[in-house]
A and B are shown apart, each in its own frame.
Chain A
Amino acid sequence: MRVVVQEDPFDLGEETNRFATAQSASGAVVTFSGIVRDVSAGLKAMHIEHYPGMTERALMEIARTAIDRWSLEDVLAIHRYGTLKPGEQIMMVATAARHRKDAFEAAEYLMDYLKSRAPFWKREQSGSGEEWVASRAEDEAALNRW
């Protein structure tokens, strides 16, 4: 299990390769990466604030729960903070399991929890100013399925 919280960009291909080739007992590796999208064609930057200390703890806890529940061989979670431009990768998760169903489900679980239970806050900067991104009721509701 590896959890990384960093300001710098990461190399999705390199991280995925390293993760996949490190597994020996897994028949399935699933990766997901989140990218800064320019919803209204006016986004200049996304600023991500986090709670140093708690962020790492929360991510470890979420990853550990996923490992136990889906008997994963391994989990990788990388999440950036700071100022990001549209098109940049914000985060990634990777899961390794014996079978793909567990790897897919665990990746979805990680994403759902990362969205609402890891202490990150996004602020969008556009031509008209800056605004904190509001949490969405459906993101909170998504936790209920687990």
Chain B
Amino acid sequence: MDILYFAWVRERIGIPKERVTSEAETVMDLVAELRAREDRYAAAFEDLTALRVAVDQELADFDAPLAGVREVAFFPPMTGG
């Protein structure tokens, strides 16, 4: 699946998008996998209350299932308008 990062999450991790192969069953499982990768991921995912997640371009919770999902995005709370 594709993983997208926006705003300071993108800056901390250093890339806007990557394709990963994962057996993660939920967003939380995926976060655990990413955190374990490198320090920059651990730093980006340090405080989940500061993060929001979208699954296939819909806002979701961190316990959302990932079966059949094509795109997951992580970003800070939105500041539109």
Taking beta carbons and an 8 Å cutoff, which residues of A are in contact with B?
34, 49, 51, 53-54, 57, 79, 90-91, 111, 114-123, 132-135, 140
The dominant DSSP class at the A interface is: mixed
Residues of A within 8 A of B78 (CB): 115-121, 135
Across the interface, A121 reaches (CB within 8 A) one of B4, B6, B54, B59, namely: B6
Q: Are B6 and A135 in contact (CB under 8 A)?
A: no
State whether A120 and B80 are in contact (beta carbons under 8 Å apart), knowing that A49-B6, A132-B8 are contacts in the complex.
Answer: yes
Q: Is B68 an interface residue (CB 8 A)?
A: no
Residues of B within 8 A of A114 (CB): 80-81
Residues of B within 8 A of A122 (CB): 79-80
Residues of B within 8 A of A120 (CB): 78-81
Once bound together, how far apart are the Cα atoms of A118 and B81, in whole Å?
Answer: 8
State whether A118 and B80 are in contact (beta carbons under 8 Å apart), knowing that A53-B57, A57-B57 are contacts in the complex.
Answer: yes
Residues of A within 8 A of B77 (CB): 116, 134-135, 140
B57, closest chain A residue (CB): A54
Return the CB mask of B55-81 against A: 1 if under 8 Å, else 0: 001110000000000000101111111
B8, closest chain A residue (CB): A132
Of listed B58, B77, B81, residue having the most chain A CB within 10 A: B81
Once bound together, how far apart are the Cα atoms of A116 and B80, in whole Å?
Answer: 6
**Chain B interface residue number, banded:** 10 to 19
Residues of B within 8 A of A57 (CB): 57-58
Taking beta carbons and an 8 Å cutoff, which residues of B are in contact with A?
4, 6-8, 54, 57-59, 73, 75-81
Residues of B within 8 A of A119 (CB): 6, 54, 73, 75, 78, 80
Residues of A within 8 A of B58 (CB): 54, 57
Once bound together, how far apart are the Cα atoms of A118 and B77, in whole Å?
Answer: 10
Once bound together, how far apart are the Cα atoms of A53 and B77, in whole Å?
Answer: 18
State whether A135 and B54 are in contact (beta carbons under 8 Å apart), knowing that A54-B73, A117-B59 are contacts in the complex.
Answer: no
Once bound together, how far apart are the Cα atoms of A130 and B2, in whole Å?
Answer: 28
Q: Are B81 and A51 in contact (CB under 8 A)?
A: no
A56 to chain B, nearest CB (A): 9
